[in-house]
Structures are given as structure tokens and as C-alpha cells.
Amino acid sequence: MPEVPDLESIRKFFNRSISGQTVQRVDTLIPVVIRVPRDEFVRLVTGDTLGEVHRHGKFLLFSLASGRILVVNPMLTGRFSLVPPEAKKQPRTCFVLALSGGLELRYADQRVMGRVYLVTPETLDTVPQMADSGPDVLSPELTEAVFRQRIRRFSGQIKSILVNHRFVAGIGNAYSDEILWEARIHPYQKRTQLSDADIGRLYKATRDVLAWAEPIVAGKMAESLDYSEWREHLRVHRRGGQPCPRCGSTISEITAGQRITSFCRTCQPLAAGQEIRTSLSRL
């Protein structure tokens, strides 16, 4: 799943490469991902001009000269490409925008889980998960005081809170592991058992980890969008069985449902008396 470092890098790439270009043709190949009538989508987007691309959480928002906003939630497997018209289409390419600069902006989605909306600023809140979304995780408005205030509204395990868009928007499975490792907090620690110092470290780790990761990911797509989710720099996520880069202990992994959680039991001890409740654990 693309997370903030991936999507922020894509946003910056688009603002360098396609801003100001006009959509000359729209092809809808798998229209199920488009949450407006197909003919209306083609009619309204064709001839419009792309403006600045914004991001909120895991949504990319393409401003159009008409005032409309093309909103894309890529979910787990949505991927963009910017290629010449003769380039072979990826499997499950959902739509294509032929641009005035001569390239095509394509969106492919292996699981066809992503969603595409065409809205106005007044109807942006009709996009699912937008109206009830917390502040973007990189927003300057998310100060430590706001972070502390918001986290008190939630109970349960801290990792589940971090990935909840109602708390803050943009943190996913991979970077929640990295943030919690940096903060030395067990992913299954209950929020009510966190001290003020724990929450302070968690806020700092959230800012530090994402600020560290984004330029690394951006460097991998400086010239093109030919990328897979870049994860080689991550220190604990999906590193089960490897030594912790901080203390040398073996990194543990727990699988609950379809979510893999990676952490160091030494650096991130669970509070005494608390049990881990999951469907399957290993390491």
C-alpha cells in the first residue's frame, strides 16, 4: 500500500512533470474504479487542464482549471505511470489521460480496489473517509499539543490508532512499525498505558521517520514513476528474524488477519500484565 513517503514523492513528481498540461483524451478501461458515471467523467475531464497536485493522507488530489478536483485513493495496489503512448499497458490499467505534453498518465490497479472521484471543493467531503478524516500527518497544524489532544479520543492498541484515518491521515502498516520502533513503544501497547513521555516520543518519531523516509523514496523516482513501493530503507518492517539495528536482538513479526507487524521485543517491551491477542504469531 502506498503510504505518505510514496504519495508525497508522487505528488512532487506530478507537480514537476504534468502541471499545466491539458487532457486531450480520456480512456476508461476498467470504469468500476471511477465513482462517477463513465460518460460524465470522460466529458468533464477531456479538455480540462491539470493544476497543482495536493495530498491528504493517502489521497492524491489533482486540481483542474475548471475548479473540479480529481481525487484518487489508490488503496493497496493502485499505481500511476507516465509513459509514451506506444508503451505497453500494464495489466488492469483502469484509465488513461492523454496529455498535451505527449505522454499518457495511466492508472493501473491489480486488485481494482482503488477509487477515483470527480468533485468540487464544495463536495469534497462526500468522498468516503474525507469528511471524518483527521489532519494530515505532515500538516503544520498537527502540533504536539494537537497530537496529544487527538490521541486521548482513542482507546485500544497504539498501532491500530496510528493507522486509523480518524486519528491522523496518512500512516499505514509499514511506517507505523517504523514510527513505533523509533519511539520504543510496543505496537500492541494500549493507549491508556502510555505515559506523557511516551506520547511525546511518539509524536517526535512520527515527524522524524516520515521526514527521513520521504527524500529517500523521492530519490528513487526523481526521473520517472517506474517504481514499486520502496522499502529497502525500512529498519524493522518485514525484517522478521533479522537483528534489530539498535540493540541486535532478533526482530519479531506477528501476523493478525492480513497485517504483518514487525518490532523488537527488547527495544519495545510490552507493559507488564498485558497480553498480545492475535490470530497468528511467529518469531
pLDDT of residue 274: 60
Q: What are phi and psi for residue 190, nearest 5 degrees? A: -75, 140
Active-site residue, selected from the candidate residues 55, 58, 106, 191: 58
Mark whether 104 is an active-site residue: no
Please count the other Cβ atoms lying within 10 Å of the Cβ belonging to residue 146: 15
Mark whether 2 is an active-site residue: yes
Active-site residue, selected from the candidate residues 92, 148, 231, 259: 259
Q: What would the grid cell of residue 184 be?
A: 520504543
Please count the other Cβ atoms lying within 10 Å of the Cβ belonging to residue 280: 8
Nearest alpha carbon to residue 100 among 78, 85, 115? 85
- Domains defined for the chain, CATH in brackets: 4-126 (3.20.190.10), 144-282 (1.10.8.50)
Mark whether 11 is an active-site residue: no
Residues 66-80 as b or e (16 or more Cβ within 10 Å = b): eebbbbbbbbebbbb
Q: Which tens digit of pLDDT belongs to each residue from 203-234?
A: 999 999 999 999 998 888 766 676 566 688 99
Please count the other Cβ atoms lying within 10 Å of the Cβ belonging to residue 184: 17
**pLDDT beyond 60 at 170:** yes
Q: What are phi and psi for residue 206, nearest 5 degrees? A: -60, -50
Q: How confident is the model at residue 275 (pLDDT cuts 50, 70, 90)?
A: low
Mark whether 91 is an active-site residue: no
pLDDT of residue 91: 94
Active-site residue, selected from the candidate residues 3, 104, 178, 182: 3
